[in-house]
């Protein structure tokens, strides 16, 4: 029968062990089994929640509650809608709770108290755009998983710990922080520092190189207040009369366009090692190292003295009280 031997009437081919087609035959057989296994797994999926298009959701650990609402396609914190949220993070938490599959369902569950479900560790409330509601209770740990159930049923499941791990109770993991542009000595074109109504402008290459070190080291990761109201600005020394304004004109590396990045610098924080900083048009106040701030707004004293002497002696008409140029401002 040649190198292949037909099997009965099912159309399958059983290759001779010495056949070069043996490897292909095995791959096809493996692929068929894998597809059957995947289809079986899909059929055995144990659904706990199955909600689409959430309009709001909240979760609580018994002490803290985080509530979110979706307005015009944007997720907002219900308690303070002015706080910018990381949309993908909030969306992923909601989706994880709204489309939840169980690891297994307990066929004959004992008393709910045995699973920590009479006083659940977490309560998650979900509401869709159509008004459908679901409440999910998460109880005690079950090894690497957790016991869970939905309101109105007596079914008890175990669910993956990934849902519990996703629940964020600290805004540091939910807020969309301000972005600092990439500023280097090569892209920085001018820096204006305004303090007590007087402005100092830096344009010289050596000055900009020094100041670029500060702007380049600036990171806004430690948020002290996610929503500073106008009335609260003075508490951080960020009100208009108290703050120092640092305005950097730079060339954007991607677009090649000239842009401006402005930050307000407030008073020293309680730790004595950092100062409060706020980006123009933002409501968030951050803590930034005093060393970084100092490098953003000052040049070395030796450079300042030489520059002051040059501008006063050589070009006196540029020296005025309204705007002092190139480091002038020493008293």
Query: By the 8 A CB rule, do 68 and 77 touch?
Result: yes
The whole-number average pLDDT for the span 117-131 is 98
Query: By the 8 A CB rule, do 212 and 203 touch?
Result: no
Q: How far is CA 41 from CA 95, 213, 324, in A?
A: 21, 56, 73
Query: By the 8 A CB rule, do 150 and 173 touch?
Result: no
Helix (H) or strand (E) holding 33: helix 22-43
Provide the phi-psi class of 152: left if phi over 0, else alpha when psi is between -120 and 50, else beta. Answer: left
Quick one: tokens of 143?
């090894």
Q: How far is CA 282 from CA 84, 176, 297, in A?
A: 10, 11, 20
- In the chain, the domains with their CATH numbers are 47-173 (no CATH), 188-325 (2.60.40)
Query: By the 8 A CB rule, do 246 and 206 touch?
Result: no
The whole-number average pLDDT for the span 213-235 is 97
> Residues 89-121: pLDDT tens digits?
999 999 999 999 999 999 999 999 999 999 999
The whole-number pLDDT of residue 3 equals 42
Strand partners, 198: 195
Provide the phi-psi class of 255: left if phi over 0, else alpha when psi is between -120 and 50, else beta. Answer: alpha
The whole-number pLDDT of residue 326 equals 54
Closest CA to 195 of 287, 293, 316: 293
Asked whether the predicted pLDDT for residue 38 surpasses 90, the reply is no
Quick one: tokens of 269?
């924080």
The whole-number pLDDT of residue 44 equals 80
Task: Quickly count: other Cβ atoms within 10 Å of residue 185's Cβ.
Answer: 15
Helix-helix angle 290-297:205-217, to 10 degrees: 150
Comparing 45-49, 267-271, 298-302, the range with the smallest average pLDDT is 298-302
Say how many Å lie between the first and final Cα of the chain, rounded: 105
* Higher local confidence (pLDDT), 170 or 317: 170
The whole-number pLDDT of residue 29 equals 57
Asked whether the predicted pLDDT for residue 49 surpasses 50, the reply is yes
The whole-number pLDDT of residue 321 equals 45
**Which of the four pLDDT bands, split at 50, 70 and 90, describes residue 53?**
very high
What's the whole-model pTM score?
0.75
The whole-number average pLDDT for the span 280-292 is 97
The whole-number pLDDT of residue 50 equals 97
* Higher local confidence (pLDDT), 28 or 212: 212
| Maximum separation of any 2 CA atoms in the chain, in Å | 107
Asked whether the predicted pLDDT for residue 24 surpasses 80, the reply is no
The whole-number pLDDT of residue 266 equals 98
Asked whether the predicted pLDDT for residue 2 surpasses 90, the reply is no
Asked whether the predicted pLDDT for residue 5 surpasses 80, the reply is no
**Which of the four pLDDT bands, split at 50, 70 and 90, describes residue 14?**
low
For 160-241, where are the alpha helices, taking DSSP H only?
A: 162-166, 205-217
């Amino acid at each position: 029968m040649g190198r292949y031997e037909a099997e009965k009437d099912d159309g399958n081919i059983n290759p001779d062990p010495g056949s070069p087609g043996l490897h292909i035959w095995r791959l096809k057989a493996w692929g068929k089994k894998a597809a059957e296994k995947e289809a079986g797994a899909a059929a055995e999926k144990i659904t706990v929640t199955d909600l689409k298009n959430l309009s709001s959701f909240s979760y609580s650990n018994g002490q803290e509650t985080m509530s979110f609402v979706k307005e015009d396609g944007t997720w907002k914190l219900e308690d303070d809608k002015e706080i910018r949220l990381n949309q993908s993070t909030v969306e992923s938490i909601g989706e994880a709770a709204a489309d939840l599959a169980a690891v297994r369902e307990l066929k004959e569950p004992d008393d709910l108290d045995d699973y920590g479900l009479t006083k659940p560790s977490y309560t998650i409330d979900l509401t869709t755009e159509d008004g459908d509601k679901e409440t999910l209770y998460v109880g005690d740990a079950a090894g690497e998983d957790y016991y869970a159930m939905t309101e109105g049923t007596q079914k008890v499941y175990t669910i993956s710990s990934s849902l519990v791990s996703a629940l964020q109770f600290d805004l540091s993991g939910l807020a969309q922080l301000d972005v600092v542009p990439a500023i280097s000595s090569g892209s920085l074109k001018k820096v204006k520092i305004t303090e007590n109504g007087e402005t100092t402008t830096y344009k010289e290459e050596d000055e900009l190189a020094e100041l670029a070190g500060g702007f380049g080291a600036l990171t806004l990761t430690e948020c002290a207040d996610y929503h500073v109201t106008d009335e609260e600005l003075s508490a951080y020394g960020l009100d208009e009369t108290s703050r120092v304004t640092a305005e950097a004109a730079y060339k954007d590396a991607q677009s090649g366009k000239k842009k401006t990045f402005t930050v307000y610098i407030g008073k020293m924080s309680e730790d004595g090692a950092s100062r409060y900083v706020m980006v123009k048009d933002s409501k968030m106040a951050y803590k930034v190292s005093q060393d970084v701030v100092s490098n953003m707004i000052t040049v070395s004293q030796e450079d300042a003295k030489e520059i002051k002497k040059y501008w006063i002696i050589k070009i006196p008409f540029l020296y005025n009280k309204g705007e002092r140029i190139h480091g002038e401002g020493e008293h």
